Amino acid sequence: MRDHETGGHRARKRFGQNFLSDPNIIRRIIDAIRPQPGDVMVEIGPGLGAMTAPLIERLGHLHVVEIDRDLIARLRETWTPDRITIHEGDALKFDFGSLADGPPGGEGRRLRIVGNLPYNISTPILFHLAEFAAGVKDMTFMLQKEVVMRMVAEPGTEEYGRLSVMLQYRFRMGRLFDVPPGAFRPAPKVMSSIVRMVPLPAEQLGATDEDLFGRIVTAAFGQRRKTLKNTLREFMDDVDFVAVGLDSGLRGERLSMADFVAIANHCAVRHR
């Protein structure tokens, strides 16, 4: 199937290009973001500017990160540099910390990140963005609904997994509303949702060794039908399970965030 032509631009599938075209949905998203003059905001993947235009109107100035050279040329023709700062390139490699106004967790204005994200890179981009949480005020994204359901999933549900635990560890998250395929040109095959992510204060995070926490969560969900005794063999033996008060016959999807933090902190002490 050939790429779809939208507003004189041929939408590129490899860049996950589905452009928002429904003015009511665009208004609802902008209202949900609540841009305030003085906010330091970056939009990932401005595309043809559906959200960029109302954001610049309300903020005065906006940073954008875009990979498609044709779209970058159009953005340059539309706005002058005092209104838009265009960061050309791959958002997966972009240093979002460089836009935070002041040191992470300091007095400066923290960054607000928004975007109708390219769905083909949703998971890696969420993990990349999580690294900058300390300098971020909030993030509001459109993603495919199935991914948002996994992000906000509770323990014991089918959607609950590594993405849920790793993001809920760092962010308070809420699904705001759904957006049907007809709101885009070309229309994607799937339903989309808007999600808001607000970084939790550093003192609430709890894992003494975050790298170990991440490795344990990854292992626990690596083989979904296996019990913790099997998936966490590398980290824990029977005595450790007794020490943290967990049944080794459970599966990862039963464990709460607090359980994962308790396991990681126990292992951090034990492996020291």
User: In the complex, which residues of this chain contact ligand SAM (CB under 6 A)?
Assistant: 15-20, 44-48, 50-51, 65-68, 71, 90-92, 116, 118, 121
Sequence-distant (6+) residues with CB within 8 A of 137 are 39, 109, 110, 111, 112, 198, 199
What is the SS3 assignment for 233-257? Answer: CCCCCHHHHHHHCCCCCCEHHHCCH
DSSP 248: T
Q: Residues 197, 159: contact at Cβ < 8 Å?
A: no
Q: How far is the CB of 132 from ligand SAM (least distance, A)?
A: 15
Task: State the DSSP H helix or E strand holding residue 7, giving kind and residue range, or none if neither.
Answer: none
Q: How far is the CB of 36 from ligand SAM (least distance, A)?
A: 20
In the complex with ligand SAM, the residue whose CB is nearer, 115 or 135, is 115
Q: How far is the CB of 62 from ligand SAM (least distance, A)?
A: 12
Burial of residue 261 (number of CB atoms within 10 Å: 0-12, 13-18, 19+): buried
Q: For the residues of 66-104, what is the DSSP string, one character each?
A: E--HHHHHHHHHHS-TTTEEEEES-TTT--GGGGSSSST
Annotated binding site: 18, 20, 45, 66, 90, 116
In the complex with ligand SAM, the residue whose CB is nearer, 45 or 252, is 45
Q: How far is the CB of 202 from ligand SAM (least distance, A)?
A: 28
* SS3 state at 250: coil
Q: How far is the CB of 246 from ligand SAM (least distance, A)?
A: 39
Tell the residue number behind the tokens 């980290």, with chain if given: 235
In the complex with ligand SAM, the residue whose CB is nearer, 17 or 231, is 17
What is the distance between the alpha carbons of residues 20 and 127, in angstroms, rounded to a whole number?
24
How far, rounded to the nearest angstrom, does the alpha carbon of residue 233 sit from its chain's CA centroid? 30
* SS3 state at 154: coil
Q: Residue with the closest Cβ to ligand SAM?
A: 45
Q: How far is the CB of 150 from ligand SAM (least distance, A)?
A: 19
Tell the residue number behind the tokens 């970058």, with chain if given: 72
Residues in the chain: 272
Annotated binding site for S-adenosyl-L-methionine: 18, 20, 45, 66, 90, 116
In the complex with ligand SAM, the residue whose CB is nearer, 65 or 219, is 65
In the complex with ligand SAM, the residue whose CB is nearer, 91 or 228, is 91
